Chain A
Amino acid sequence: MNKIRFILVTILVVAFAGLVIRHNQTKSRILIIHSYNIDFPWVPQVNGGIQQYLANNPSDVVIRYQYMDLKNHPNCDFYRSAANDARLLIQDWQPQVIIIIDDLGQSLVGVNYLHFKPGTDTTGLYDKFAAIDAKPGGCANDPSKNNKDYFGLGNISLPYTPKIIFGGVNGDVDQYGYYQADNVTGIFEHKNPDAIRQTITDIYRASSVKPTSIQILSDKSGTANSEKDFFENKLTAVNLDVPLTWKPVEYAGTYDEWKQFIKDANQNGSMLLIANYTQIKENATDATSMSTSKLISQTEQTTQYPVLGAATNFITDGGMLTLAVPGYEQGQVTIQMALEVLKGTPVSNIKPVEAKQFVVGMNKSLVIKRGLALPLVYEAFSRESNNLVEK
């Protein structure tokens, strides 16, 4: 190769490499970490909200998704491995903003990137986070796993401070230390207690077989843990306009336990309210949870009184009526906040917000089968939001 060609090509290559590196370094990167996998309908809903917002507000950002798949594998070893994968990605890719959806992702990944306000006492904080993970992971009683080192929790030093936007959080974010940090904001997924109260009242009035109480039945998942305060205290504090009393919340781990609680509810004259049910095992030794459609359709068939759901997927799983917080809004709000942050708005100026929307889902044939004369608005709203099953 002659010298002139060598020099010219070298200039071209160096200039090109420089431009590419500069382009990549200045590009804004947003990492979206889902606690669950794409097979859980809530997740595509959140992604749909994100994509819709981006389509309406074109932005020069690169987005990468990470699915931790924690709902399908509720065990500590898997939690630890999935958290490690997410952290490796953050370390390699160094996103400026990390959107974390749902509770487990906050306590397994988000807590490691907190930028604490001056004077914050972090003693014992990470062990507290580990305890949050250990419970749904089934290793709360194993000291070798129920600790921060096992889950790889602790402040991670990075050459930059990523901003964290949370979404899909059912409880309070105080348990994750978020109020003590200045780089976190987001949107809660709190259920609307008044909407649930009104629907229970409507069901009671529409029902010819009147229940005497309400039994909340739940699995023992991380989400159930986050919503413990809501269901055990906040919701039950709401006065109903009909003569129904709240029974203490029951938590099942296996299908047998679940069936026993249904039997008890039938005997006690209780109607059921079900929000968290994806982590029930058919047999105690099973590696994975049982089919949710089998669980809910069997529940619907064996309960004497109407069952109200408070979950996105309740109708497609075979339930009769549900009130759910839509993932769509969570996606829209979190990406909007992320873009605000990238524009330079300090995170402290963006306050965490509550979910404003809720959707109704209904299976019309099951409503007819139970002989319920529900207000027509339920069917109309379900149809409008594409959550009506007619057969």
Chain B
Amino acid sequence: MKSSAQLNTIPVRQSDTRTFLGWTLALIVPLLVYFLFHQSNPTAAERSTGIFIGVVSLAVCIWVFDLTPAFVPALLIIIVTILFDVVPKDVALSGFTSDAFFICLAIFIFAAQVASSGLIYRVALLLMRWLPESNLSQSLIVFASGTILTTIIPSPLGRSALLNPLVFDLIDNTPKTKVKKIETTPLIISGLQGTTLLSTIFLTGNPLNLVMLGFFTTQTQYRFQWLNWLQATLIVGVILVAGYLAILLWQARKSNLQPMGKAQIDELLKKLGPVKNSEWGALVGMTVFGVGILTQSYHHIEPVWLAFGIALVLYLYGALTTRDLRSNVDWPTLLFVAAIVSWGPIMSALKLNTLIGKQVTALKLDMLMHNNFLLGIGFLALIIILIRFVFPGGPTFIILMSALIPLANSTGISPWVLGFIALTISEGFILPYQHGAFSLVVEELKTRGLEDTYNMSDILISNALLLALRVVAIYVTILYWKAIAIL
């Protein structure tokens, strides 16, 4: 599985100047931040806070310039806080004992099983065989497969790596004509949006969803577990899917792509052979997990431990091997999640939330949010969209969360609502470099010599439309959140 620890970006080839600039800033900025903070807060008690803010600024420099894998600066923060006695060790390492860490680990093990079983690929082919043979239905199946993967694989890049073979099989098997070039845009949009569009709709659709939960108090974490999370995000999801469908209809009309024939589908199914034990294992595991979540009030087992239990049972049955664990579990993302989840407790221990809260009040941001919530949301969305042209989504979101939690505390607005809005918008993208899944698809199309088969401007337009729709969906959902008393 591809690592999403790059916070949904894959490393771009760095120019020497960019690397030099990045490391230079990484050297200067933390020192500057520390001394400036120390000057305005000279007491010994504030020294620890200064060190923490300094090392966070170092991490931000590394993230922005993509100097190392994303988990490295995240771990660096933890190590520095321990070595300089910024907070007690158990606070610094609290992310590693958090529910978010165990959910992530369990889901990754679970996802490793689903990924290695090939179940989703088979289901997609069976659906294509069953549904009418058309360009539209096959694109929809690609999107639906991506959506199913979103519920069980918390890594957009990992999902993309799993779904791309299906997309390219469909492209490779389409009847070619010498007269006209084939038009694969609807399939590419479906694959791309299938793996990314709903990543914040399902709790386990994105590691940053779990990071966000980690920023909250225990009671808010419990409040927004699987089904309650889905209940809160449902309307946004429905609006985004409606937007995707509209784009698909527009693109499918323009496309001359011929659907894969039943005979070709049969051939691919034949190649897969009979349903393997591992596929049955994946199916049973997913079913047990789903039933387990729905019957929680009966058995009182929290979903995190249920997921972990199922993941371990897969090993008991031999459905997973050590090799699967080594190759299919996204360890860098796991380390990243655990390290970032420690931020919340570290910031609380340093009373940094109070400090940021005072700044939020001084800047009158709480007044803006409280007196004109709709305008405040628009302002927040605009800032995120602009920042995302320069900063990767992950760091943008994490830094914003550090400010949004105190803002939520002082205004009484649900921290989940503010976090979800920030995350949903920061996960949107227009250009390939803004999201790893997009750049991965573009790279793969290039490698396969399919550059002439799609219309990049149409893809960019659809991305921009869906990004705008994210903002619209949030505004519409505010009414729903009020109705279900989240706001």
| B223 interface hit (Cβ, 8 Å) | yes
CB atoms of A89 and B300 under 8 A apart: no
CB-nearest residue of chain B relative to A287?
Answer: B370
CA distance in complex: A78, B413 (Å): 8
B290 at interface by CB-CB < 8 Å: no
In the complex, A34→B298 CA distance in Å?
26
In the complex, are the beta carbons of B414 and A81 less than 8 A apart?
yes
Please report the C-alpha to C-alpha distance between residue A285 and residue B300 in the assembled complex, in whole angstroms.
44
Contact of B219 (CB < 8 Å), options: A25, A89, A287, A288: A89
- For B413, the closest partner residue in chain A by CB is A78
B365 to chain A, nearest CB (A): 11
A residues less than 8 Å from B277 (CB atoms): 1
Say yes or no for B410: interface residue by CB 8 A criterion: yes
* Contact between chains at A77 and B316 (CB < 8 Å): no
Q: Which chain A residue shows the least CB distance to B228?
A: A88
The yes or no answer to A5 lying at the interface (CB within 8 A) is: yes
Binds B, one of A65-73, A239-247, A308-316: A65-73
Residues in B neighbouring A377, C-beta threshold 8 A: none
Within 8 A of A (CB), among B371-428: 371, 409-412, 414
Specify which chain B residues have a CB less than 8 angstroms from the CB of A72 in the assembled complex: 409, 412
- Residues in B with CB closer than 8 Å to A78 are 412
Question: B415-472: which residues lie under 8 A (CB-CB) from chain A?
Answer: none
Partner of A13, one of B316, B367, B484: B316
Query: Would you give the shortest CB distance from A69 to chain B, in whole angstroms?
Result: 8
Enumerate chain A residues within 8 angstroms of B486, measured Cβ to Cβ.
81, 84
CB-CB contacts below 8 Å: A18-40 with B? 20-21, 24-25, 27, 29
Q: Is A152 an interface residue (CB 8 A)?
A: yes
Quick one: given A81-B487, A88-B228, are A21 and B222 in contact (CB under 8 Å)? no
A287 to B317, CA, bound (A): 56
B271 within 8 A of A: no
> Which residues from chain B contact A292 at a C-beta distance below 8 Å?
none
> Is B313's CB within 8 Å of the partner chain A?
yes
Cβ-defined partner of B300 (8 Å) among A24, A69, A75, A288:
A24
Centre residue among A29, A73, A83, A91 by max chain B CB count within 10 A: A73
Contact with B223, one of A12, A77, A88, A285 (Cβ below 8 angstroms): A88
Residues A84 and B317 in contact, CB atoms below 8 Å apart = no
Please name all residues of chain B whose beta carbon is closer than 8 Å to the beta carbon of A93 when the two chains form the complex.
Answer: 297, 300
Q: Which of B223, B313, B410 contacts A85 (CB 8 A)?
A: B223
* Distance A362 CA – B300 CA, assembled complex (angstroms): 47
Q: Is the CB of B219 within 8 A of A1?
A: no
Q: Which residues of B contact A209 (CB under 8 A)?
A: none
Tell me which residues across on chain A come within 8 A of B223, comparing CB atoms. 85, 88-89
> How many Å from the CB of B297 to the closest CB on chain A?
6
How far does the Cβ of A233 sit from chain B's closest Cβ, in whole Å? 33
Q: Which chain B residues in 260-274 approach chain A with CB under 8 Å?
A: none
Q: B412 near A73 (CB under 8 angstroms)?
A: yes
Residue in contact with A287 in the complex, picked from B228, B298, B367, B484, CB distance below 8 Å = B367
Contact for A12 among B316, B366, B487, CB less than 8 A = B316
* Known contacts A75-B412, A85-B219: A20-B370 contact under CB 8 Å: no
Q: Are A25 and B300 in contact (CB under 8 A)?
A: yes
**Assuming A9-B317, A13-B313, A285-B371, is B300 touching A27 (CB within 8 A)?**
yes
- The chain A residue sitting closest to B315, CB to CB, is A9
* B301:A24 contact, CB within 8 angstroms: yes
Write out the residue numbers on chain A whose beta carbons fall within 8 Å of the beta carbon of B317: 1, 6, 9
Asked whether B165 is an interface residue with its Cβ less than 8 Å from the other chain, the reply is no
Complex interface: chain A residues within 8 A of B45 (CB): none
Judged by DSSP, the binding face of B is helix
A287 with B366, Cβ < 8 A, contacts A81-B487, A89-B219 known = yes
Query: What 1/0 mask marks residues of chain B from 467 to 487 whose CB sits below 8 Å from any chain A CB?
Result: 000000000000000101111
Chain A contacts of B367 at CB under 8 A? 285-287
Does B222 contact A89, Cβ atoms closer than 8 Å?
yes
The count of residues in chain A whose C-beta lies closer than 8 Å to any C-beta of chain B is 38
Q: A74-109: contact bitstring with B at CB < 8 Å (1 yes, 0 no)?
A: 010110110111001101111000000000000000
Pairwise interchain contact B299-A94, C-beta atoms closer than 8 A:
no
Any chain A CB within 8 A of the CB of B296? yes
Task: Report the Cα distance A288→B365, complex, angstroms.
Answer: 13
Task: Mark out the residues of chain A between 263 and 303 whose CB falls within 8 Å of any chain B CB in the assembled complex.
Answer: 285-288
Q: Are B219 and A21 in contact, CB atoms less than 8 angstroms apart?
A: no
- With both chains docked as a complex, state the minimum distance between the C-beta of A193 and any C-beta of chain B, in angstroms: 35
Q: Are B301 and A20 in contact (CB under 8 A)?
A: yes
Residues in B with CB closer than 8 Å to A85 are: 219, 223
CA distance A1 to B278 in the complex (A): 10
Question: For residues 190 through 241 of chain B, which have their beta carbon under 8 Å from a beta carbon of chain A?
Answer: 217, 219, 222-223, 228
A287–B410 touching, CB < 8 Å: yes
B318 is an interface residue with CB less than 8 A from chain A: yes
Q: Which of A1, A84, A94 contacts B297 (CB 8 A)?
A: A94
Separation of A65 and B217 alpha carbons in the complex (Å)? 11
Shortest Cβ distance from B299 into A: residue: A21
A192 to B405, CA, bound (A): 40
In the assembly, what is the distance between CA of A73 and CA of B408, in Å? Answer: 11
Q: For residue A9, which residue of chain B has the nearest CB?
A: B316
Please report the C-alpha to C-alpha distance between residue A207 and residue B382 in the assembled complex, in whole angstroms.
62
A288: which of B217, B299, B410 is its contact (CB, 8 Å)? B410
Taking the nearest CB of chain B, how far is it from the CB of A298, in angstroms? 19
Contact with A along B39-81 (1 / 0, CB 8 A): 0000000000000000000000000000000000000000000
Flag if B485 contacts A152 (CB, 8 Å): yes
Q: Could you say which residues of chain B place their CB within 8 Å of the CB of A88?
A: 223, 228
The reply to whether B487 and A65 form a contact with Cβ atoms under 8 Å apart is no
A370 and B146 alpha carbons, distance in the complex (Å): 74
B410: which A residues are within 8 A, CB to CB? 287-288
**Closest-CB distance, B200 to chain A (whole angstroms):** 21
Is the pair A5, B487 in contact by a Cβ cutoff of 8 Å?
no
Q: Using Cβ atoms and an 8 Å threshold, which residues of chain B touch A77?
A: 412, 482, 487
Interface string of B239-252 (1 = CB under 8 A from A): 00000000000000
Inter-chain contact A24/B299, CB cutoff 8 Å: yes
Closest B residue to A73 using CB positions: B412
Q: How far is the CB of B299 from chain A (nearest CB, A)?
A: 5
Report the Cα distance A75→B300, complex, angstroms.
33
Q: Assess the A80–B412 pair: CB atoms within 8 A.
A: no
Q: How far is the CA of A27 from the CA of B301 in the complex (A)?
A: 12
Are A81 and B299 within 8 A (Cβ)? no
Q: Which residue of B lies closest to A85 (CB)?
A: B223
Taken residue by residue from 294 to 324, chain B's Cβ proximity to chain A (1 for < 8 Å, 0 otherwise) reads as 0011111100000001000100111000000
* Shortest Cβ distance from residue B472 to the other chain A in the assembled complex, whole angstroms: 23
Q: Which residues of B contact A91 (CB under 8 A)?
A: 297
Which of chain A's residues have a CB closer than 8 A to the CB of B412?
69, 72-73, 75, 77-78, 287-288
Mark B74-111 against chain A: 1 for CB-CB distance below 8 A, else 0: 00000000000000000000000000000000000000
Besides A25-B298, A77-B482, 12 new A-B residue pairs in contact (Cβ under 8 A), listed by A number: A1-B318, A9-B317, A13-B313, A25-B300, A67-B219, A77-B487, A78-B412, A84-B486, A85-B223, A91-B297, A93-B297, A287-B412
Chain B positions within 8 Å of A, measured between CB atoms, are 217, 219, 222-223, 228, 277, 296-301, 309, 313, 316-318, 366-367, 370-371, 409-412, 414, 482, 484-487
Q: Residues of A at under 8 Å CB distance from B? A: 1, 5-6, 9, 12-13, 17, 20-21, 24-25, 27, 29, 65-67, 69, 72-73, 75, 77-78, 80-81, 83-85, 88-89, 91-94, 152, 285-288
Q: Considering the complex of A and B, which 4 residue pairs feature the smallest CB-CB distances, nearest first?
A: A73-B412, A84-B485, A287-B370, A24-B300
13 pairs from A and B in contact (CB 8 Å cutoff): A24-B300, A25-B300, A67-B217, A75-B412, A78-B412, A81-B485, A84-B485, A88-B223, A92-B222, A92-B297, A285-B371, A287-B370, A288-B410
